[in-house]
Amino acid sequence: MSGNDKILEKIRNLLSLAEDGGNDEESQTALLMAQKLMLKHKISQNELNEGGDQKIVIKSLSVYKRVYWWEKVLVKIIAENFRVMYYMQSNRLPHQTTVQRKLVLMGYPEDVDFAYEMFTLAAEAMKHYASLHLKSMEEKHLKSSQGNIRKSYYQGFMDGLSHKFKLQRDQMSSENEKFALMIKTPQDVVDKFNAEIQGQLAFKQPILNTENEAYSEGYEKGTKVSLSNKYLN
């Protein structure tokens, strides 16, 4: 098993721990600990492979389908924290009446693998806790549009997660100046992206109420994290 495979396996163990515990704090901790593992692993790998060229690869986050607004928001957050670029591919087969799309990650293989894992975990955690929030509202007999509530919760969760990632980046950079370089997307990846990919990922993001309970609780779930070494054992 390669070093990268071992790190990914450790991340998957973290995710299993979070799922088994059924605790949102553990799920979010798994995300952040995975980011920290990834960055530490990159430092050791770069020190061993100084001067070596790395292959740049792409990896799809899904099959061709309808891409939701929150997927476009979340992939941006993940890309900013896991050293990859992202874009959208479009396709329409002869029998299809509408264009189908998918989000694609670009970067070094280990970075793309980490980003893929983190996007998947974040999406699953967000949907899970949004459903719990909706269920709690039904139990309180609160009448409102479930669609809008879910959207507000999603936005709150992603805003909270983005904030927590930023705090961790700042903390790691202050602890070790090498982290500041490791967090940035490699220039080779940026150059290849700029040379081969045209256009921007533009979309109409829904205008959501950030003052409601769903947004507030979603934001709290994304930021309420207690990091502990026990997650590495």
pLDDT at 87: 92
What are the structure tokens assigned to 226, written together?
């207690």
d(CA 112, CA 194): 17
Strands 85-91 and 100-107: what pairing? antiparallel
CB 133, CB 217: distance < 8 Å: yes
pLDDT at 7: 64
> Which 8-state DSSP code applies to residue 208?
-
pLDDT at 212: 74
When comparing pLDDT for 52 and 151, which is higher? 151
**Tell me: the pLDDT tens digits for 37-47?**
766 666 555 54
Q: In the predicted model, is pLDDT for residue 175 greater than 70? A: yes
Q: In the predicted model, is pLDDT for residue 208 greater than 60? A: yes
d(CA 9, CA 47): 22
pTM of the model: 0.72
pLDDT at 14: 61
pLDDT at 107: 93
Q: Is 122 helix (H, G, I), strand (E, B) or coil?
A: helix
Q: In the predicted model, is pLDDT for residue 101 greater than 70? A: yes
Mean pLDDT of 202-206: 58
- Pick the range with the lowest mean pLDDT from 2-16, 26-40, 58-72: 2-16
Handedness of CA 121, 122, 127, 128 (dihedral sign): positive
DSSP-assigned beta bridge partners for residue 58 = 106
- Domain boundaries in the chain? 54-221
pLDDT at 229: 33
